[in-house]
Amino acid sequence: MNRIEKLFLKISKKDQKNLLNILVAIINKDSGLKAVKIKNTDFFRVRFKQFRIIFHKEGREIIIDSVRLRNDNTYKNL
């Protein structure tokens, strides 16, 4: 079981549903999301409450790198 799956097991059903909707919107390249490029990297992030969804683009594909709770170490080791 990876870190994203463990996180989903710990959060409420409502947050699970909202995060899944955001992940689907990212994968479908929804222009309504506020995706922000992270400085000095090729990564982007989307915020939802205390969660950060970090992803990057490889050609036409979008790769979800992590879904994390926001803390001081969220953007380290990218």
Q: Could you tell me if residue 48 is inside a domain?
A: yes
Which stretches within the chain are classed as H helix? 3-10, 13-27
Domain limits for position 62: 3-69
Q: Is the pLDDT of residue 43 over 90?
A: yes
Q: Is the pLDDT of residue 74 over 80?
A: no
Contacts made by residues 12-16, CB under 8 angstroms, sequence distance 24+? 15/49, 15/51
Mean pLDDT for the chain? 84
Q: Which residues pair with 6 in a beta bridge?
A: none
Provide the domain count of the chain: 1
Q: 3 pLDDT band (50/70/90 cuts)?
A: confident
Q: Is the pLDDT of residue 38 over 70?
A: yes
Q: 20 pLDDT band (50/70/90 cuts)?
A: confident
Instruction: Write the CATH number for 57.
Output: 3.30.2310.20
